Structure 1
Amino acid sequence: MSYQFITSATLPTRHGEFDIHVFENQDGQEHVMLTVGLPKVALEAKKVPSTDSSTTKSSQDAIPLVRIHSECLTGDAFGSLKCDCGPQLDSAMQAIQKTGCGAILYLRQEGRGIGLTNKIRAYALQDQGHDTLDANLMLGLPADARVYDMCKPMLAHVDVNEVRLITNNPDKVAYLKEHGINVVERVPSVVGVNDINADYLATKRDRMGHLLDQEIYTAAHLNK
């Protein structure tokens, strides 16, 4: 599937100012990228030599900090405690503003790609005691229907081919690497843990392979 850049503008937010870029695929689906310090800083990073430890650190710091974030209306907009999506988005925006170099790739694939209506149907099954993975399967849907084919053209738009990726999901790391984007560091994101989403996070860790073990065991809500 092909993707094309449509337009961009500045976007002041409570976390700071971003540039917002809109992309569209051949079916008219829109995806958004928020950036800070790109492409200028990304291009400068390629020029930094790495002959000693201090210079290597400088080069590492210049590599864009990137978060691939799939749309979550309930978490991002309504502050749902069923997931950790809203806090992850806020944390990534804050971190990118702090470093001054990075991007949020906001992908329009609600509910791990199953859509909003099916996501709420899955919520209803979760209310009956089923975990997030089994709820999808009981509806005849995949556990995770997300795709990341739009990430490379979005990053290419700002001349980025090397990233520090904010994620707990090894699939995102693998996809970028398979498509020629060098992931020099995986930056964990363990935020928004609460009593309501503890089982949800444990399912992602135990059944979906998310890399939460080392970090998540420090959260008291999951030590049960």
Structure 2
Amino acid sequence: MPQHLPPQTGAATVRSRVRIPLTFPDGYRADAEVFTFHGLADGAEHLALALGEVPEGGTPLVRLHSECLTGDVFGSDRCDCGPQLRESVELISGAGGYLLYLRQEGRGIGLYNKLDAYALQDSGLDTYDANTALGLPEDARDYTAAAQMLGALGVTGVELLSNNPDKAAQLTGLGITVHDRVPTGVHLSASNVHYLRAKVERTGHSIELPRLVG
């Protein structure tokens, strides 16, 4: 059985590591070394995928990717999660670093609540107002476990692959140096325009949508 340290210790250790070859639907392939952990603050089964080789003296490229069953697995066009995951694996494989796959479905509200929020979005609410209409936070994610995972891997500074300023702010507050924030591409579809626009307008995501925002 996994053994979890008390959250207040702030400590985490590597539980196991295993190599997994990855193949994406478009044929892209990458080799990952997947790490599991003991002692994460939230007790969830988060994963770290080591990809590529960090140059000597270099800083790892790191993405905190929140689990999205609908986007990552089923290819939903209502978000940009699946394309971001695919892009991140390739970019990190080239630069060297880690993809942290965090079990934070629906910005931390869970799968069923996320689908309930989708129904509210169909009636005109944006992704944030739909959450609050359900009595839930706009974004319930806490990145303490992500900082613990990086610490267990010996990582104290990162190039952060993210459009989300909150991820950088939380990691910095948790003692991880964010040397730079590298935006992902714009993965636009007819079904996610309003979702992406809300992320730009409501929470300052660095997504270049000049024709759609303003």
Say which structure is richer in helix.
1
Where in structure 2 are the equivalents of 1:3-152 lying within 5 Å?
3-14=12-23, 15-24=29-38, 25=40, 28-37=43-52, 41=54, 44-45=56-57, 62-99=58-95, 101-152=96-147
TM-score normalised by L of structure 2: 0.86
TM-score normalised by L of structure 1: 0.83
CA distance in 2, matches of 1:28, 1:152: 14
Which has more radius of gyration?
1
The offset of 1:203, in angstroms, is: 0.5
In structure 2, the residue matched to 1:59 is none
SS in 2 for 1:20: strand
| Paired amino acid for 2:18 | A
Cα distance change on mapping 1:223 and 1:136 into 2, 3 Å: closer
| Paired amino acid for 2:30 | G
The offset of 1:179, in angstroms, is: 2.0
In structure 2, the residue matched to 1:167 is 162
What per-residue deviation string (whole Å, max 9, x for no partner) do you get for residues 112-164 of structure 1? 00000100100111112211111101100000000100112211222111111
Contact 2:51 2:89 in 1 (8 A): no
Runs (4+) off by over 4 Å: none
CA distance in 2, matches of 1:175, 1:27: 15
| Paired amino acid for 1:29 | A
- Consecutive unaligned residues of structure 1, counting only runs of 5 or more, are 46-61
CA distance in 2, matches of 1:172, 1:144: 11
- Consecutive unaligned residues of structure 2, counting only runs of 5 or more, are 1-6, 24-28
CA distance in 2, matches of 1:94, 1:147: 26
SS in 1 for 2:105: coil
What per-residue deviation string (whole Å, max 9, x for no partner) do you get for residues 178-215 of structure 1? 22221111101133211110010000111122222xx2
